[in-house]
Amino acid sequence: MKSLGSIRRDFAPWNDPNAKPYIQFDNVTKKFGDFTAVNNLSLTIFEREFFALLGASGCGKSTLLRMLAGFEEPTAGRILLDGQDLRGIPPYRRPVNMMFQSYALFPHMTVENNIAFGLKQEGMPKPDIEKRVAEMLKLVKLEQFAKRKPHQLSGGQRQRVALARSVAKRPKVLLLDEPLGALDKKLREETQFELMDLQQELGLTFVVVTHDQEEAMTMADRIAIMDKGEVMQVATPAEVYEAPASRFVAHFVGNVNMFEGKVAERSANTTRITGASGAQIVVENGGAVAAPNADIVFAIRPEKIKVSSKKPADAVNAMEGEVYDVAYLGDMTVYHIRLDDGQIVRASALNAARVTEDPLTWNDRAWVSFRPDAGVVLAR
Ligand SMILES: Nc1ncnc2c1ncn2[C@@H]1O[C@H](COP(=O)(O)OP(=O)(O)OP(=O)(O)O)[C@@H](O)[C@H]1O
């Protein structure tokens, strides 16, 4: 399959066999008593990468971050930073800083004193502190708020103070645990872009923990999808979405339709699948190699499926059914079509025009169709 690179910028050291890893988790296991929170996990992160750990609550993502910061030690395995084994190095000696949520700001201190706090503790000379704080205020665009206290700021502004405080000491790696969790949706989205700009400007390596897939997809160069202490896939957002490696990943990120079936025939680029009800699906360049007769699932995203009242003349893959549900969401319309074999298919169509030519409504007969390269074949 053609590689889907990082869209955001021309940065893909993971595709370069000569690139030196910056952070390495090397067969890391973490047990709490007899509970295994992280299970023999290996992972490589590159310098200046914006890396996201994504997974449901309890999958071990925070534990991974805390081990990198030095708040926990692995039960087994090694963590290396720039080639150096971090075992035994206390948190304050690691070139790593953790950004805590904005409620961890000191409420009685002004913005500038909050930012200066860590620098004072480090014994930095006063003029240098002043210079650094001014730089940080400028970076997060809070120059005119320097003398305010946290309660005199909006949620987004407080978040920026927390960020300025955590990068003031110029760590090489910034760890962010649900950094935008306290913000409302709109502010979150704005702040995501600010974080990305800042990371580029500072040239830092960011490792962010989130359970919000959209947030990870928006910000990260690569995402590690975790489940039960293990990594299920590490890839760019586009790869995770368009070429999920497993059913778990396909389900976890975005909406997906799954057709169960068997491989009927396989050639260099094409797989012919027979579905449970006998329907045929032709797949081109569709991911995993599966032997003839193997039980597989075909996974396809809703926006890759076209809904129409008549069978499209040129469709390689088309199935007939009935409109079961229609949801108008403004920017798009989501259809649920019940195929004649009973399976419900979700299809979404962008509402590019204000009026649809071929409007479909409840109980109409309808066709769903898709291109042979619109989905992937996964092991069952
Ligand atoms: N100090 C501890 N003692 C015992 N169990 C722990 C400890 N810290 C974490 N765990 C357990 O390890 C598992 C992973 O926890 P972790 O905080 O890494 O999850 P997470 O993926 O970050 O989840 P969340 O999104 O809810 O923070 C959880 O089941 C948790 O209960």
The rounded Å distance from CA 63 to ligand 1 centre is: 6
What's the rounded mean pLDDT across residues 228-236?
A: 97
The reply to whether ligand 1 has any atom less than 6 angstroms from the CB of 37 is yes
What's the rounded mean pLDDT across residues 158-168?
A: 91
For the chain, what percent of residues have pLDDT higher than 70? Answer: 95
What's the rounded mean pLDDT across residues 177-189?
A: 82
What's the rounded mean pLDDT across residues 116-144?
A: 94
Strand-strand pairing, 205-210 and 50-55: parallel
Q: Residue with the nearest Cα to atom 5 of ligand 1? A: 32
Name the average pLDDT for the chain: 91
Checking if the pLDDT of 2 tops 50, the result is: no
What's the rounded mean pLDDT across residues 24-31?
A: 98
Domains, the chain, in order of start with CATH, read: 13-95+171-248 (3.40.50.300), 255-379 (2.40.50.140)
What's the rounded mean pLDDT across residues 68-93?
A: 96
The atom of ligand 1 lying closest to the CA of 32 is 4
Checking if the pLDDT of 222 tops 90, the result is: yes
pLDDT tens-digit map of 299-318: 999 999 999 999 999 899 99
Q: Residue with the nearest Cα to atom 16 of ligand 1? A: 60
Complex prediction ipTM: 0.93
Q: Which residues pair with 35 in a beta bridge?
A: 32
The reply to whether ligand 1 has any atom less than 6 angstroms from the CB of 61 is yes
pTM above 0.80, yes or no: yes
Write down the pLDDT at residue 5.
44
Rounded (5°) CA angle 337-341-342: 55
Q: Residue with the nearest Cα to atom 25 of ligand 1? A: 57
What's the Rg (C-alpha) of the chain?
Answer: 25
Checking if the pLDDT of 101 tops 70, the result is: no
Write down the pLDDT at residue 144.
96
The reply to whether ligand 1 has any atom less than 6 angstroms from the CB of 63 is yes
| Diameter over CA atoms, the chain | 77
- Confidence category of residue 78, pLDDT binned at 50, 70, 90: very high
The rounded Å distance from CA 162 to ligand 1 centre is: 24
Q: What is the 3-state secondary structure (H, E, C) of 287-323?
A: ECCCCCCCEEEEEECHHHCEEECCCCCCCCEEEEEEE
Pocket test of ligand 1: the residue of 36, 57, 73 to mutate, having most ligand atoms within 8 Å of its CB, is 57
User: CA–CA distance from 218 to each of 56, 181, 254, 303, 346 (Å)?
Assistant: 18, 15, 13, 18, 24
The rounded Å distance from CA 243 to ligand 1 centre is: 29
The atom of ligand 1 lying closest to the CA of 209 is 22
Could you identify the residue written with the tokens 């296991």?
A: 29
The reply to whether ligand 1 has any atom less than 6 angstroms from the CB of 60 is yes
Write down the pLDDT at residue 3.
44
